[in-house]
Structure 1
Amino acid sequence: MGAPENPGGDMGEAPTGGTTASSAGRVAAVALALVVVLAVLALFAGWVWLLVTDDGLTRIVWAVLGVLFFWRMVPRPARVDARAVELTRADAPRLHDLVDAVAEAVATRPPDRVLADTTYPVAVRAHGYRGGATLVVGLPQWTALDPAERVAVLAHELRCAHVDRGAAGTVVRLAQDLLISARTLFTPTRTVTADTKAVDQSLSSVAVLGLTHELAGNQAQREASASAGAAGLSVVGAPFRWTQSLLTRLWRPTLHAAALEADRRAVSLAGPVATRGWLLSTVGVARGMTAAGNAARTPGADPFAAMEAAGRPDAAELQRRLAAEPDASDDPRHPPTSQRLHAVEHAEPVASDWVDRSPLAGADGEVFRVRTALTQQFREELVHGRS
């Protein structure tokens, strides 16, 4: 199936419509990320040089300390939950065809993997540091959306992840993961202490032996030592926390600009009505989740079927939700939903039958087969929560 022409042209890696401040923040974020990465590499090179030039017992000490330190500093990016079900091209060829077509239409690369999960949102997450990405089809949101809205969310998520998969986004993500590892290394561990009542009872039971003051003094010394150690680790870890906070603030305008540009791509492909409907699905209580929760507590009821049958909130109710939380967003990577809706409302309407010609019906059948297999898991998560 041929993809439609791209009315906006290929906008490249950098999001269009960005302000000067966004471009400056992008450059500053990449520069700071490079400093972080180079600093870790320099530290590693210094450790290797120390091992080569040193000798005797100290070399063994430095070797052991260095291995422990750098093993803990290895970047560990977040991974998709292991409970997600992978949909290979052999398992779901029409779904992969749909994803490939949408990716081509919004001028980005298709993801390397497609998974289905019982988490709500449909999302594309960059993984690794070689431009890879994973599409997680959130079965609840996919169920709650209509066909055109499904195309809109695919278009947005695939294009929005484009910035993370580029060279600049990869460097920033690598620096963020290194800083997270450093923060974890220098975060004080929680000290397990006895219950206060139990300690008081123990002290009172030995009072007859005249050891109360000695035991209380030992307890105070242990608590003071633990507090001093925690304070020391907090001081050492403060620069890493500040650097990560600064990097996040510098990079956020680039992410927001990319999200708005991805919304425009979604409008150009699925139309403003479908894009607005998808954006409104997460305003307030996520669409369909109340019906799904009620069905999960009803014997024999299917929470996914309940989501399909549930009515949508009327326009007035959605407007009240937006007014109640005007700055609410899906996550910190996206601008406020109200701002995104305002941009969609001023977008040019499109007249295209691409959604009707897409392999969406076949893709839905493949997704719904997986949905059937995960219904019980979804029910348990609605009742007991996702651990």
Structure 2
Amino acid sequence: MLCINPIVASEDRYKMESIAEGLDHPWGIAVVSENEMLVTEGVGRLRRIVNGELDPLPIAGIPSVFLVPTDLTQGGLCDVALHPQFNENRYLYLSFGEADSENPSLNAMTVIRGQLEGDKLTNVEQIFKAQPPRKTTAHYGARILFLRDGTMLVTSGDGFNYRDQAQTLDNHVGKIIRLNDDGTVPDDNPFLGVDDALPEIWSFGHRNPTGLTLSEDGKTIFEHEHGPKGGDELNIVTAGKNYGWPLITYGIDYSGALISPFTEGEGLEQPVKYWVPSIAPSALTLYNGDMFPNWKGNLFVTAMVPGDVRRLTMFEDRVVDEEILFEELGAIRNVTTAPDGSLLLVTNGPEGKIIRVSRD
């Protein structure tokens, strides 16, 4: 059910402090402990922050990434996620754009895993590569989320020019993928054994899904994706469902042309919420800390345009309130909750920062 809501004003007092600066197009963030976090830089570096200090040396052993020199917000090194048993096995996962080994003019969104040993990533292995490779340098998706059962979801965008393939199941274009932690296919995936369908597909009909998070009980998967000109979506993702792109959309083409005359259709899932005009949602988290009791269970959506964070209050899987926060920071690339309940924001651009939001 759609819910277009008024913006409400904040009644929570907070303060902000920068805990790391000078990051070159930061994208993903993973909290290791109360004193340590890892941040990806689009240019291909994985950085460590310990006790509020950015290690001047990046983590070694990161594979080469495919860069778009004219737009470092696309491709490059994207997300970082920790294995649920990271403290025991030291496995972490990275998504990135990778040039095709046989044809360097093509590239693909790739996921690797490796073990973090000191300041180096070791035992690196590829566990997923989106097929087919594409010529375009946009809409990678590239978000990674571990589910409570130990499997993982990986989002794969439509590559901008390949949107019709989001509706077919013989490719990874415009899909959400579900894998075991070693890259194998879980035996309960929805398209396992279906003719002409890739068994790793979890859901389809997506445009550029860049946000994934779980409800507090782990039973609901929230996802957001970029629409075209208008039509950014917040969805609840369910196994085997079709989310409609490009058959239905609340947006239009950047040229002003109509993409589809339809906003709904039989067998096509509706968003929980959509934004017109677009906000360019870049990351998503559910606040589960104790520092801000009024935020408990709220969804936080980082918005690149015009540059803010949206706090969404949910009730029975519906958005009942939306609040705009942190407009003074400009475009925000990522957001997560720290162990102490503060909120961590990652600003976008060549001089990116990690901002800690705590109670005033």
- Both structures adopt the same fold (TM-score exceeding 0.5): no
Structure number with the higher strand fraction is 2
TM-score category of the 2 structures, normalised to the smaller one: under 0.3
- The structure with higher relative contact order (CA 8 Å, sep 6+) is 1
Structure number with the higher helix fraction is 1
